């Protein structure tokens, strides 16, 4: 709340309620608001979590507001307070009405926002049905009196498989429902390179429909990063800090094969993979194979404790920025676990392999 009030204090007198030649309009009522103002921000870079503050909007004594903006179609957020935001996918000439009643916002007048809300509803339902149910079983097994490692391993594999099914359901929704809607942009947060052709085609259609939008450029950048980190591509460099504060560069490693392992202390599947990584490292560390771990943690103690507990003694680095880590952005990593097997020239020969598949592949390449 203090952060919101601070922002309001800074820009209080720059607020506008009406602009000529508006691209879109917002109006509505916010009940039980503790503030006299709400914030409109543009989500200019969803992967880096960069938001651009557009304006403050004044509420009258009854919580009513009316606002018009001459700006390009984009993905916006209406910030009601520190804990409540309303996502808005806004296209040109939309006249949007918003009512927030008992913390349940109702948005009308924006087909793009309707599509985004439908996507988010599916995403949450699909994630619960396909992934969270498995995670709960894993937690329950770990808490049982005699946890069965085979059961946990089997459930872990199922979790990874189901996560891909979850993403496939989301992509089907995008393909069948979204067309060239502005709502496509926030979905790009979950795009993976197993569907590059689809995302490339989708982006091309979006660019044709919206040739001058900033969103079009962002979507093309995302596809380009997916293409660059696909099989056969050369990985971007990574220069990050290890727990002992030494700087460790990926390209300073000259082994025949390196597994770039993106992980975090809070990632269950990542932690369960530690045994296989230890096995592969011990087996091949003197034969031309190594691991370069990139932690997406934000808490240094949790990161270092997990390394010690899991015996991750290979190169491990972290900027403690979570998914805002530059390397995560450059490698288009938006979910964990994620890994890349590269050769000595930095060429990707395999990616996103786990468990027995990973072990089998490393055994195979090291035998050659």
Q: What is the pLDDT of residues 246-273, one digit of tens each?
A: 999 999 998 999 999 999 999 999 999 9
Residue range 146-196, pLDDT digits in tens: 999 889 989 988 998 999 999 999 999 999 999 999 999 999 999 988 889
Q: Is the pLDDT of residue 101 over 80?
A: no
- Identify the CATH class of 239-367: alpha beta
Per-residue pLDDT at 81: 85
What pLDDT band is residue 7 in, cutting at 50, 70 and 90?
Answer: very low
> What is the model's pTM?
0.84
Nearest CA-CA partner of 314 in 347, 350, 285: 285
Per-residue pLDDT at 68: 93
Q: What is the sign, positive or negative, of the torsion defined by CA atoms of 149, 282, 304, 156? A: negative
What pLDDT band is residue 341 in, cutting at 50, 70 and 90?
Answer: very high
Q: For residue 160, count CB atoms less than 10 angstroms from its CB and return exposed for 0-12, middle for 13-18, buried for 19 or more.
A: middle
Q: What is the sign, positive or negative, of the torsion defined by CA atoms of 24, 87, 263, 196? A: negative
- Angle subtended at Cα 225 by Cα 217 and Cα 205, rounded to the nearest 5 degrees: 45
Q: What is the sign, positive or negative, of the torsion defined by CA atoms of 266, 121, 65, 73? A: positive
Q: Tell me the mean pLDDT in the region 127-138.
A: 96
Per-residue pLDDT at 193: 83
What residue spans in the chain does CATH classification 2.60.40.1120 cover? Answer: 2-109
**Do 37 and 59 contact (CB within 8 A), yes or no?**
yes
> Mean pLDDT for the chain?
91
What pLDDT band is residue 105 in, cutting at 50, 70 and 90?
Answer: confident
**In the 3-class helix/strand/coil scheme, how is the chain assigned residue by residue?**
CHHHHHHHHHHHHHCCCCCCCCCEEEEEEECCCCCCEEEEEEEEECCCCEEEEEEEEECCCCCEEEEEECCCCEEEEEEEECCEEEEEEECCCCEEEEEEECCEEEEECCHHHHHHHHHHHHHHHHHHHHHHHHHHHHHHHHHCCCCCHHHHHHHHHHHHHHHHHHHHHHHHHHHHHHCCCCCHHHHHHHCCHHHHHHHHHHHHHHHHHCCCCHHHHHHHHHHHHHHHCCCCCECCCCEEEECCCCEEEHHHCCCCEEEEEEECCCCHHHHHCHHHHHHHHHHHCCCCEEEEEEECCCCHHHHHHHHHHHCCCCEEEECCCHHHCHHHHHCCCCCCCEEEEEECCCEEEEECCCHHHHHHHHHHHHHC
What Å distances lie between residue 134 and 120, 131, 257, 354, CA to CA? 20, 5, 33, 17
Q: Can you identify the CATH homologous superfamily of domain 2-109?
A: Carboxypeptidase-like, regulatory domain (2.60.40.1120)
Residue range 277-332, pLDDT digits in tens: 999 999 999 999 999 999 999 999 999 999 999 999 999 999 999 999 999 999 99
- Measured distance CA(76)–CA(5) in Å, rounded: 20
What residue spans in the chain does CATH classification 3.40.30.10 cover? Answer: 239-367
Provide, rounded to the nearest whole percent, the portion of the chain with pLDDT above 70.
Answer: 93
Taking each helix axis from N to C terminus, what angle separates 355-367 and 149-173, rounded to the nearest 10 degrees?
A: 100
Nearest CA-CA partner of 8 in 80, 63, 97: 80
Per-residue pLDDT at 103: 65
Give yes or no for a cis peptide into 337 (omega within 30° of 0): yes
- Measured distance CA(348)–CA(340) in Å, rounded: 6
């Amino acid at each position: 709340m203090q952060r919101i009030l601070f922002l309001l204090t800074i820009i209080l007198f720059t607020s506008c309620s009406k602009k000529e030649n508006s691209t879109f309009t917002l109006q509505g009522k916010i009940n039980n608001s503790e503030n006299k103002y709400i914030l409109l921000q543009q989500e200019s870079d969803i992967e880096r979590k960069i938001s651009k503050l557009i304006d403050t909007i004044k509420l009258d004594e009854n919580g009513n507001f009316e606002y018009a903006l001459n700006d390009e179609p984009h993905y916006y957020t209406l910030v009601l307070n520190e804990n409540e935001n309303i996502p808005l996918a806004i296209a040109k000439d939309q006249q949007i009405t918003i009512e927030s009643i008992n913390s349940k916002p109702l948005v009308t007048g924006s087909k793009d926002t309707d599509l985004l809300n439908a996507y988010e509803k599916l995403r949450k339902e699909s994630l619960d049905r396909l992934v969270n149910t498995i995670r709960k079983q894993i937690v329950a097994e770990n808490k049982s009196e005699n946890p069965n490692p085979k059961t946990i391993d089997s459930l872990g594999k199922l979790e990874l498989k189901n996560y891909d099914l979850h993403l496939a359901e989301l992509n089907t929704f995008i393909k069948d429902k979204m067309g060239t809607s502005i709502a496509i942009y926030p979905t790009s947060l979950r795009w993976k390179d197993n569907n590059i052709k689809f995302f490339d085609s989708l982006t091309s259609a979006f660019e044709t429909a919206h040739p001058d939008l900033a969103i079009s450029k962002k979507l093309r950048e995302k596809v380009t990063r997916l293409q660059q980190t696909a099989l056969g591509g050369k990985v971007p460099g990574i220069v990050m800090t290890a727990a002992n504060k030494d700087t460790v560069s990926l390209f300073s490693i000259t082994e025949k094969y390196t597994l770039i392992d993106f992980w975090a202390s809070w990632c269950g599947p990542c932690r369960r993979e530690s045994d296989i990584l230890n096995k592969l490292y011990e087996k091949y560390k003197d034969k031309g194979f190594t691991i370069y771990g990139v932690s997406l943690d934000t808490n240094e103690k949790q990161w270092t404790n997990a390394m010690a507990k899991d015996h991750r003694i290979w190169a491990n680095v972290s900027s403690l920025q979570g998914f805002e880590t530059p390397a995560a952005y450059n490698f288009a990593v938006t979910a964990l676990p994620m890994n890349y097997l590269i050769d000595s020239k930095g060429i990707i020969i395999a990616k996103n392999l786990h468990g027995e598949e990973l072990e089998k592949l490393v055994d195979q390449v090291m035998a050659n």
